Amino acid sequence: MTTQGNWYDLFSRGARDWLRHNQKVRDAVWRSLPETLSGADILGNPDRRTVRIPVHLLEHYRFQLARRESETGVGQGSDVEPGDVLRPPQTDSGEAGGGSGEGEGEPHFVLEMKISDIVDWLWEELELPDLKPRASGPVVEEEWQREGLDRHGARARLDRRLTMKESIKRRIVQPEGAAITDDDLRYRQLVRRPRPATAAVVIMALDVSASMDQRSRRMAKHLFFWVLQGLRRRYRHIETVFIAHTVTAWEFDEAAFFKVSASGGTVASSAFKAAHGIFTSRYDPSRYNGYLLYASDGENFREDREAAFASLERLGEQINFMGYVEILPDVRGATDTETGRIFDRLTQAGLPAARYVLMDEEDLWDAIRTFFRREAEQAA
Amino acid sequence: MKPLPELRHYERAFNHLARELGLDYYPLEIELVPADFMMEISVYGLPVRLPHWSFGVRYIHRLIQHRMGHSKLYEVVFPGNPGQAYLTDTNSVVENTLVIAHVLGHADFSKNNQLFRSVQEQQGHHIVEQAAAHARRIEAAIETHGAEHVEQALDAALALEPHIDWHKALRRPRYPERPEEETRSEAASDFQRRFEALTGEVRKHEIPAPGQRAPIPPYPERDLLWFIANYAPEMEPWERDIFLTVREESRYFYPVFACQIINEGWASYWHARLLREADFLEDQFYIEAMKTHSDVVRPYAATEQVALAINPYHLGFTLWNKIVDQQGMEQAWRIRQNEDDFAFVRNHLDTETANTLGLFLYSNDRNGKVTVIDSDINALHEAVLASKYNYAAPHIVVEEIQRDNGLILRHDYTVDGIGLDPDRTRKVLQYIKKIWRRPVQILTLDKDGHEVSIAA
């Protein structure tokens, strides 16, 4: 007997398994996120809150024969003679004419991930190395705290429990009284109170001389971008300074810094002197934790060697940590660079400096981990 | 009349007519369901089936197809006692009336066809309920053992879905411990003796001396799901249950798969005949129903002249009409009882019919070039049937369990003529290894035609 029910709309098994598939894709993307992100274009649009990552559908594998040069099939039609060409060869492999190859023309979809989520996840175990609480920050931080009660206030802050208590107390003396009167109402109050703060300033310095090619600059900017995103998520109040240099150094605001391009020779000390100047004049070392992150290809005028070392030495005595990312265009093995030697000397002198040689975008997160997990490793 | 009472009216009338004309079937429960649900049934193969992410991928493919208007689903029938049929509630009364007549043909086929019967008798005629119970057991396993672990077992079991031996019993016992037992049971069966007496047949494995332990497997084993469930060195009981569940469902699908042309043809023959002989239908109704009929049973889209695939409805319908015309109804009843697609196509598709239908063989090169090639009727038969052997999966057997419990599989490339796709093969071996928990390898051909071993 033919029947008709209506319970089928309640749920969809197909949708449930599709969501499970998507979860698996998402997990796989998370696991390889640093590599995936290094390819994503995030600098183009600084206001963007999400990264879009194209992904393919997962395949559930089965035993399958290798593809033959040519497959035979049966067709049906009128006036077809042996030798007729029913479809010409496809020149463009991307233009799959159906059946010519699996995988082509497969539906794929775009996974959209919030930058803030990614950063939270990636920075979970990372932190500013050697961060010290300073006596009191220049800006006395204030925050809202709960304090006291009042008969007036915002509805959301009504304390129902205390209000009921008041009502019960009143009704003991006034047995015929109303259930609740305005006098019974109790609202929780908030006040602003100063809060001890850890203040920090991060100075990002970038070598934009002629020897830094497009790729190297892009890698450096990616690095700075993720560090900045991470620090901002992790620390509520952080100051940033952006410096770019060739033979001289300039300070930029953030937006301009990520677009900066220039050419010329390399005098690294110009940047270090600028950093030192900015740090000591604007930020009191007794109150601020200071950090320097410097990216360069390692080339520097030999005449500048001592000047650069001296300015870094002075800076190193005042700030918490100096990180140097050396971006090498390819695997030439020439890690023994001018700037590299300067940082090695600093480390040997017992100053808080570290160096990371970056050759590939895929190592970007490794570089960040090296600098920002330093303290955890030392403690371990 | 409202749609539902009107359909019930026609259903009763067609039931009466069908029995009168000799159709023989178990009672049939017909249910109108939403198009979305029909789509899910077609993706899962069963109305309620175990959950796995790969169904989600198929679902989304189907959904895209559906949105582009490429597919219209009319019916899904599940043989059993009672049989169950699902129809789309958005299709018109005319369409659904035609579909009811069609479904009666399927019900007759699945009750009487040998292949369906042999599988159904073991299964117990209640696959829809059984599959739902399987789904519930697996959901319980997810609760107990976690989605990740259950998924691991399902990844492996479903990847091996086509690799069963449906000739072997549903509740198949382990190999006999001692060789002489096997001599009594399997090797000494009447059929086996006659088979071995045939010229050129040699027993593949010598029977070991009495007292010696029989090797495992005693002969190359095709029933991979059964074998792993029974002989994996460290399998959990619930994982074993999953493997046997997938095997059971796979066995159920075999007749449906191996009787597509003959079964769809039979159902199409009967819907056409029932409509023709139904004196209770108004002329207008009949004409509209025949329009639907010709939409379903046609070789290629109305706008095309050539199709690179055959429509099984059309081919089966044509062959059945020819059989009834030339050999009579008595012979037709016998054929629906005894044959599957292999017999049906080879016995009844002759050169004349192939020419009338305009069937041709073509080659599809890797660059996408499609050329019509010369062919005879035997080549056509094999090309039509090529995708029907073994669920269109490569032929794979268990070769041996090694001393360290490593599993060696063998791809029978002499049948397939070409090696396995190495990347996919490695992935499947990785699935299996997670359940077998020892190294797993398979012997196949590389692209130069040399034997290689792929391992995981």
**pLDDT digits 0-9 by tens, B373-424:** 988 999 999 999 988 888 889 999 999 999 899 999 999 998 888 999 999 9
- Domain presence at residue B71: yes
Of the residues B187, B215, B243, the one at which a domain ends: B215
Average pLDDT, chain B: 90
CB A115 within 8 A of CB A50: yes
User: Closest Cα of chain B to A7: distance in Å?
Assistant: 9
Q: Is the pLDDT of residue B232 over 70?
A: yes
For residues B159 and B134, membership in a common domain is answered with yes
Contact of B420 with chain A, judged by CB distance below 8 Å, is answered with yes
Q: What is the pLDDT of residue B41?
A: 92
Inter-chain touch B49–A13, beta carbons under 8 Å: yes
User: Closest Cα of chain A to B161: distance in Å?
Assistant: 9
Average pLDDT, chain A: 79
Q: Is the pLDDT of residue A289 over 90?
A: no
For residues A57 and A152, membership in a common domain is answered with no
Q: What is the pLDDT of residue A221?
A: 86
Of B240, B241, B219, nearest to B231 by C-alpha is B240
For residues B161 and B195, membership in a common domain is answered with no
Q: What mean pLDDT comes out for the span B132-150?
A: 94
Q: What is the pLDDT of residue B185?
A: 54
Query: Which residues of chain B are within 8 Å of residue A61 when distances are taken between CB atoms?
Result: 159, 424, 427-428, 431
pTM above 0.80, yes or no: no
**pLDDT digits 0-9 by tens, B248-292:** 999 999 999 999 999 999 999 999 999 999 999 999 999 999 998
For residues A175 and A265, membership in a common domain is answered with no
For residues B302 and B411, membership in a common domain is answered with no
- Domain presence at residue B187: yes
- Domain presence at residue A215: yes
For residues B164 and B281, membership in a common domain is answered with no
Q: What is the pLDDT of residue A197?
A: 60
For residues B157 and B203, membership in a common domain is answered with no
Query: Which residues of chain B are within 8 Å of residue A77 when distances are taken between CB atoms?
Result: 299-300, 304-307, 358, 360
For residues A317 and A217, membership in a common domain is answered with yes
For residues B334 and B278, membership in a common domain is answered with yes
Q: Is the pLDDT of residue B140 over 90?
A: yes
- Domain presence at residue B385: no
Q: What is the pLDDT of residue A166?
A: 92
Q: Is the peptide bond before B82 cis (omega within 30 degrees of 0)?
A: yes
- Domain presence at residue A288: yes
Q: What is the pLDDT of residue A97?
A: 38
Structurally, how many domains does chain A consist of? Answer: 3
- Domain presence at residue B361: no
- Domain presence at residue B378: no
**pLDDT digits 0-9 by tens, A158-189:** 999 999 999 999 999 888 888 888 889 999 88
Q: Is the pLDDT of residue B21 over 60?
A: yes
Q: Is the pLDDT of residue B72 over 70?
A: yes
For residues A235 and A189, membership in a common domain is answered with no
Of the residues B321, B348, B375, the one at which a domain ends: B348
Q: Is the pLDDT of residue B133 over 60?
A: yes
Q: Which residues contact A120 (CB under 8 A, 6 or more apart)?
A: A233
Q: Dihedral of CA A300/A303/A309/A312: which sign?
A: negative
pLDDT band at B154 (very low <50, low <70, confident <90, very high): very high
- Domain presence at residue B387: no
Compare B346 and A71 and report the one with higher pLDDT: B346
**pLDDT digits 0-9 by tens, B155-167:** 999 999 999 998 9
Q: How far apart are CA B192 and CA B188, in angstroms?
A: 6
- Domain presence at residue A70: no
Q: What is the pLDDT of residue B52?
A: 96
- Domain presence at residue A2: no
- Domain presence at residue B355: no
For residues A256 and A351, membership in a common domain is answered with yes
* Enclosing domain of residue B8: 3-113+259-348
For residues A182 and A209, membership in a common domain is answered with no
Looking from the CA of B4 toward its CB, the CA atoms found within 13 Å total: 10
- Domain presence at residue A71: no
- Domain presence at residue B384: no
**pLDDT digits 0-9 by tens, A18-63:** 889 988 888 887 777 766 666 555 655 555 677 777 777 889 999 9
pLDDT band at A98 (very low <50, low <70, confident <90, very high): very low
- Domain presence at residue A272: yes
**pLDDT digits 0-9 by tens, A188-200:** 888 877 665 667 8
For residues B135 and B222, membership in a common domain is answered with yes
CATH code for the domain of A260: 3.40.50.410
Q: Is the pLDDT of residue A92 over 60?
A: no
User: At residue B24, what are phi and psi to the nearest 5 degrees?
Assistant: -130, 110
For residues A203 and A187, membership in a common domain is answered with no
For residues A191 and A218, membership in a common domain is answered with no
Q: Which residue of B has its CA nearest to A107?
A: B61
Contact of A85 with chain B, judged by CB distance below 8 Å, is answered with yes
For residues B168 and B225, membership in a common domain is answered with yes
For residues A166 and A214, membership in a common domain is answered with no
* Apex A130 CA angle, A126 and A131, nearest 5: 85
Structurally, how many domains does chain B consist of? Answer: 3
B397-428 exposure pattern, b = at least 16 Cβ within 10 A, e = fewer? bbbebeeeebbbbbbebeebebbbbeebbebb
Q: Which residue of A has its CA nearest to B354?
A: A76
Query: Which residues of chain A are within 8 Å of residue B29 when distances are taken between CB atoms?
Result: 1, 3
* Enclosing domain of residue A145: 141-195
**pLDDT digits 0-9 by tens, A249-259:** 989 888 888 88
**Share above pLDDT 70 across residues of chain B, in percent, rounded to a whole number:** 93
For residues B220 and B270, membership in a common domain is answered with no
For residues A153 and A52, membership in a common domain is answered with no
Q: Which residue of A has its CA nearest to B51?
A: A17
For residues B238 and B161, membership in a common domain is answered with yes
Q: What is the pLDDT of residue A99?
A: 37
Q: Is the pLDDT of residue A232 over 50?
A: yes
CB B342 within 8 A of CB A61: no
- What ipTM does the predicted assembly reach? 0.89
Q: What is the pLDDT of residue A148?
A: 83
For residues B295 and B208, membership in a common domain is answered with no
For residues B226 and B299, membership in a common domain is answered with no
For residues A145 and A218, membership in a common domain is answered with no
For residues A191 and A234, membership in a common domain is answered with no
- Domain presence at residue A355: yes
